[in-house]
Amino acid sequence: MSRRIERIVVAGAGLAGMRAAERLRELGFTGELVLVGAERHRPYHRPALSKQFLAGDLGPRDLTLSCYADLDATWRLGETVRRLDARRQLVQIGRGKPLRYDGLVIATGVRARRTADAPDDPRVLTLRTIDDATALQRLLRADDRPCVIIGGGFTASELASTLAEQGRDVVLASRSGRLLGALGPEVGHAVARLHEDHGVRTWLDATVQHWVPGDWGIGLHFTNGQFLVAGSVVLAVGGEPDTAWLAGSGADHSDGVLCERTCHVAGVRDVVAAGDVARWPVRPGHPPRRVEHWLNAVEMGRAAARNLLSGRAAAIPFEPLPRFWSEHYGERFQAAGFVGPGQTRMSLEGDVTNGPGVLGYYQRGALVGVVARENPRGILRWTAELDHRLARRGGRHRLPEPLTA
Amino acid sequence: MSKHRMTVTVDNYRCHRYGVCEAEAPEVFRLTADGRLGYRAQPSLWTREDVLTAARSCPMQAIHVETR
């Protein structure tokens, strides 16, 4: 074996970290590769937790992600990165001695947020990790009282759908006046109606006023006047970037770690970031932001790895066309491009509020994003169209067939 | 290491026909008009990069690729 002269540390053994590691090997990196993961599990398919895993269709082993290169990595699972000294290129893992790196990939992701008022009680949990999902599964099996889900985003809504389909009594309570608020009222109404049709009690503009945990369950008094006793409560109120370890490193880590267009972490050498934790100028000319989409972790992990090896001078800007999906009661919602609550919306096909269709999102009169409901062929066409209209360099989502719209 | 053949399989139980694979490797995967997924089980090796991208990008992680 040749002498190893180089070491790349990947902080975070989730999807982005694994895809970065895989890409490093694909590109011929032969040095030492160290993957550090806070969870004790090899990288797994997190999106399935709120759906197939809790539905009982897939078990823990089914979730392990396939890797298409021989990683030959040193796995440090169950350990956390504690400190970064970017100037001396040292990273401290667990309680060990600081480890020198030649390259560092920051992919520590986000951790589930808890609301400040929620009691520290094993029946009040979050849903981010497989251990969280297993704990919830155990609670649900032992108890048929209502499960209360706090939140109005994708995780909250998908979880409500999974549990309702299993015949559970589900309450979905969101402090927002709309579900999936970022997508605008059409999609929000569509999902709210699906919940209603499946017997989920959806309380909007509602927060918990009092928590009353007792032996008999968790009492919750809501601001809308409702009181109920739940067997379990899931806080699905978003995540916080896992960046406390970057304090004093020189990297800007206010809301995720700030990167340049190439995924290089601003202000430090030989460090890139990818996935949920990274904040970068997603669209040229727009302020940097984070993108918590699954597919972004795949694409950014790979781009960051490539640019780490190439160095800043030869790096290629990472300007993806964001894409994501969500499933409720077997209905597929898919999005591409830039969709936000402040945009003008116009139907492109069908009517997403009431059935299959495609909704367009416009900025200054230009189509910049789409959401499709039960229309995967539509999203393929419109993704290609967006690639074309946004004149993306290296746009790779080819037109599969002539546009009909 | 020479690779001669690639075999693609899609787990029908997992696949929910989102069509992301078609966006990544249209030469191998295609959603049909009636909502099914058609694919080449032994595509040419030149499609390998795209097929692996499709497998990595699959929302349901339903694509299995083997190269020998």
Query: What are the 10-residue block averages of pLDDT along chain B, 68 residues in total?
Result: 83 96 97 94 96 98 94
Q: Is the pTM of this model over 0.90?
A: yes
Instruction: Using alpha carbons, select from A271, A320, A274 the residue that is nearest to residue A300.
Output: A274
Q: In this predicted structure, what is the pLDDT of residue B4?
A: 81
Q: Which residues contact A23 (CB under 8 A, 6 or more apart)?
A: A69, A301, A302, A305, A306
Q: In this predicted structure, what is the pLDDT of residue A405?
A: 30
SS3 B68: coil
Across the interface, whether the CB atoms of A400 and B57 are under 8 A apart is answered no
Question: Half-sphere exposure of residue B13, counting CA atoms within 13 Å on the CB side?
Answer: 4
Across the interface, whether the CB atoms of A376 and B31 are under 8 A apart is answered yes
Q: What are the chain A neighbours of B56 within 8 Å (beta carbons)?
A: 19, 68, 298
Q: What are the chain A neighbours of B31 within 8 Å (beta carbons)?
A: 376-377, 380
Task: Enumerate the H helices of chain B as residue ranges.
Answer: 20-24, 48-57
CA distance A192 to chain B (A): 22
Q: What are the chain A neighbours of B17 within 8 Å (beta carbons)?
A: 332, 376
Across the interface, whether the CB atoms of B31 and A334 are under 8 A apart is answered no
User: Is the ipTM reported for this complex over the cut 0.90?
Assistant: yes
Q: In this predicted structure, what is the pLDDT of residue A5?
A: 65
- For A380, name the nearest residue in chain B, comparing CA atoms only: B23
The percentage of chain A sitting over the pLDDT mark of 70, rounded to a whole number, equals: 95
Retrieve residue B60's tokens: 């349901």
For helices A294-310 and A15-26, the axis angle rounded to 10 degrees is: 40
Low-confidence ranges of chain A (pLDDT < 70): 1-5, 392-405
Across the interface, whether the CB atoms of A376 and B55 are under 8 A apart is answered no
Instruction: Using alpha carbons, select from A263, A251, A279, A267 the residue that is nearest to residue A311.
Output: A263
Q: In this predicted structure, what is the pLDDT of residue B2?
A: 57
Across the interface, whether the CB atoms of A325 and B23 are under 8 A apart is answered no
- For B34, name the nearest residue in chain A, comparing CA atoms only: A377
Q: Which amino acid is at A153?
A: G
Q: Which amino acid is at A128?
A: R
Interface A–B counts its CB contacts (< 8 A) at 53
Distance of alpha carbon A169 from alpha carbon A50, whole angstroms: 16
Q: In this predicted structure, what is the pLDDT of residue A126?
A: 98
Distance of alpha carbon B47 from alpha carbon A146, whole angstroms: 50
Task: Name the residue facing B16 among A294, A332, A379 (closest C-beta).
Answer: A332
Q: Which residues contact A387 (CB under 8 A, 6 or more apart)?
A: A321, A395, A396, A397
Across the interface, whether the CB atoms of A376 and B30 are under 8 A apart is answered no
Q: In this predicted structure, what is the pLDDT of residue A393?
A: 47
Instruction: Using alpha carbons, select from A69, A87, A93, A70 the residue that is nearest to residue A9.
Output: A93
Q: Which amino acid is at A218?
A: I
Collect all residues from B whose CB is shorter than 8 A from any CB in A: 14, 16-20, 22-24, 26, 30-31, 33, 35, 52, 55-57, 59-61, 64-65
Instruction: Using alpha carbons, select from A291, A293, A153 the residue that is nearest to residue A234.
Output: A153
Task: Enumerate the H helices of A311-397 as residue ranges.
Answer: 376-389
- Whether residue A357 contacts residue A346, with contact meaning beta carbons closer than 8 Å, is answered with no
